[in-house]
Amino acid sequence: MRLLPDCRPAPLLNIASTRTYETALARHLPPHELMRRAGLALARLTLALHPHARRLWVACGPGNNGGDALIAASHLQRWRHERGGGPDLHVSRCPGAGDPPTDTAWALAQAHASGITIHDAPPDTWDAAIDGLLGIGATRAPTGSLAEHWCALFTADQPVLCVDLPSGLAADTGQWLMPGDAHPAPWQPRATLTMLTGKPGLFTAQGRDAAGQVWLAPLVDASPPTADAWLGATTAEAAPRLHATHKGSQGDVVVIGGQDIRPAGLGMTGAAVLAARAALHAGAGRVYLGLLDADGGAPGWDPLCPALMFRRPDLLVDPALLDSAVTVCGCGGGQAVASHLPSVLRHARRLVLDADALNTIAAHEAMRHQLVRRAEHPGQVTVITPHPLEAARLLGTGSAEVQADRLGAAQQLADRLGVICVLKGSGSIIASPGQAPVINPSGNAALATAGTGDVLAGLIGSLLAQPTPADGDAPATVARAVFLHGQTADRWVAATPGRHLDAGTLAMLLAG
């Protein structure tokens, strides 16, 4: 059994791949063997997580998730009699429309043989519960008895251990099938034991909040033949630096953005400053900052970070500089960024596009074609860092559609535009053309404040600029940057619980 995430990347399989893998394994095992192993793992984890529970509710649905829960209940019942102690069980089951699946029918027989009484309603009181109501095959919200069980289970204060995934959560996308505001109580302690494979929906969108602590029971001594996505590792070590080094060997970052308040009454200078500070604090040797100001009144230095090198934007779009540096463009760029984007798209060898650069490209077909053509040049690397609304504009859809399938949306952007796409949000997605996407495991709600995305853009630019992996490993470098961004917020929350994390502090914390 393995707690996810951990120091190793973990393969994640969607519903179709999981079923194919399960069928292939079952051909070489005795009948019901996978369910037997799943139920045993579930029983062991239940006792490990809730050793002092006096009354355990085992909520079983009509399918194989309910079968896994029944086998776990059978083990717990037997151990209670053998050891003379353990939780009192209340097992309830919601029958389906037809006969139960073969494995579930076997599990029912095992439960009856263990002397378990199966009820048709939840208990009045309970200390902990097993959620075996719905599995990966669920395609709509539960109704009838299932809905009643779901509401009793997920709106309570008591902890719940979910079988494979929380009932009502879409395994591929992390979206709730439940209608309206019928979501689990946010204060309820939850854990999930996912069987055979990790499921992408547990780690992105609403999945992280729904699943709680996630454990993997592989059930066999084998690994899935393919992965539809990867859960990133919880380590991101930087390459050691040589003693004989200087600022010119540590990489240059050019930041273009930060529209002044005077042209349109919308001041966004701080966005570009945050990106530049992040790039410098994360280790870039030199950071050039070009603020977009039509009237020439932009500040010429940063008193909090005087090492930043301010330049007029027209001087920074020099082809030679754009070829040697990493360019971060768009942070707070407003409408003013449009005049510089064609040169940036043409000459920047390594380019990070954020915010208004993405909005401008979405609105101008010619720039979109120019972006796509960058993929024809092997030496050019392009990273885009949209939030869901920016991604929706690029895809010509709505943010709700993007959030309904975050992995699919990120992969579409990567494939269509020939870029590395970082779709920000809970469980940020890093997608590259022709590769399985990576779900980032770090980060928390402290990042839900203005400017943290600008910090991420600068951090990505900084890591791409430094003498670490070659351009062919750019996706791994980008994934490392996204992880470090979230890890910094995780460490802040652990060290200063309850305190607000602003983007300026986040940028400074990157210096270690």
pLDDT in the model for residue 244: 82
pLDDT in the model for residue 265: 82
pLDDT in the model for residue 467: 87
CB 288 within 8 A of CB 253: yes
Domain positions in the chain: 2-228, 247-509
pLDDT in the model for residue 15: 97
Q: Which of 272, 273, 254, 263 is nearest to 294 (CA)?
A: 263
Q: Give the pTM.
A: 0.96
What does DSSP assign to residue 176? B
Q: How far is CA 259 from CA 338, 362, 387, 461, in A?
A: 11, 19, 20, 20
pLDDT in the model for residue 267: 86
Residues 304-329: pLDDT tens digits? Answer: 999 999 999 999 999 999 999 999 99
Nearest-angstrom CA–CA distance, 354 and 344 = 13
CB 104 within 8 A of CB 32: no
CATH number of 2-228: 3.40.50.10260
DSSP bridge pairs for 214:
4, 192
Chain length of the chain = 512
CATH number of 247-509: 3.40.1190.20
List the pLDDT tens digit at each of the 512 positions of the chain.
999 999 999 999 999 999 999 999 999 999 999 999 999 999 999 999 999 999 999 999 999 999 999 999 999 999 999 988 889 999 999 988 788 999 999 999 999 999 999 999 999 999 999 999 999 999 888 999 999 999 999 999 999 999 999 999 999 999 999 877 778 888 999 999 999 999 999 999 999 999 999 999 999 998 888 999 999 998 877 777 888 888 888 899 999 999 988 777 888 999 999 999 999 999 999 999 999 986 667 788 999 999 999 999 999 999 999 999 999 999 999 999 999 999 999 999 999 999 999 999 999 999 999 999 999 998 899 999 999 999 999 999 999 999 999 999 999 999 999 999 999 999 999 999 999 999 999 999 999 999 999 999 999 999 999 987 554 599 999 999 999 999 999 999 999 999 999 999 999 999 98
DSSP-assigned states of every residue in 258-310: ---HHHHS---HHHHHHHHHHHHHTT-SEEEEEE--TTS-S-S--TT-TTSEE
Buried b (16+ CB within 10 A) or exposed e, 230-264: bbbbbebeeeeeeeeeeeeebbbbbbbbbbbeeee
Q: Which of 84, 236, 58 is nearest to 161 (CA)?
A: 58
pLDDT in the model for residue 56: 98
DSSP-assigned states of every residue in 434-488: TS--EE-----GGG-STTHHHHHHHHHHHHHHSSSS-GGGHHHHHHHHHHHHHHH
DSSP bridge pairs for 181:
none
CB 110 within 8 A of CB 76: no
Position 453: which residue type?
A: G
Residues 405-455: pLDDT tens digits? Answer: 999 999 999 999 999 999 999 999 999 999 999 999 999 999 999 999 999
Q: Tell me the H-state helices in 27-173.
A: 33-49, 64-83, 102-113, 144-154
Nearest-angstrom CA–CA distance, 442 and 55 = 35
Dihedral of alpha carbons 439, 409, 411, 448, sign = negative
CB 486 within 8 A of CB 254: no
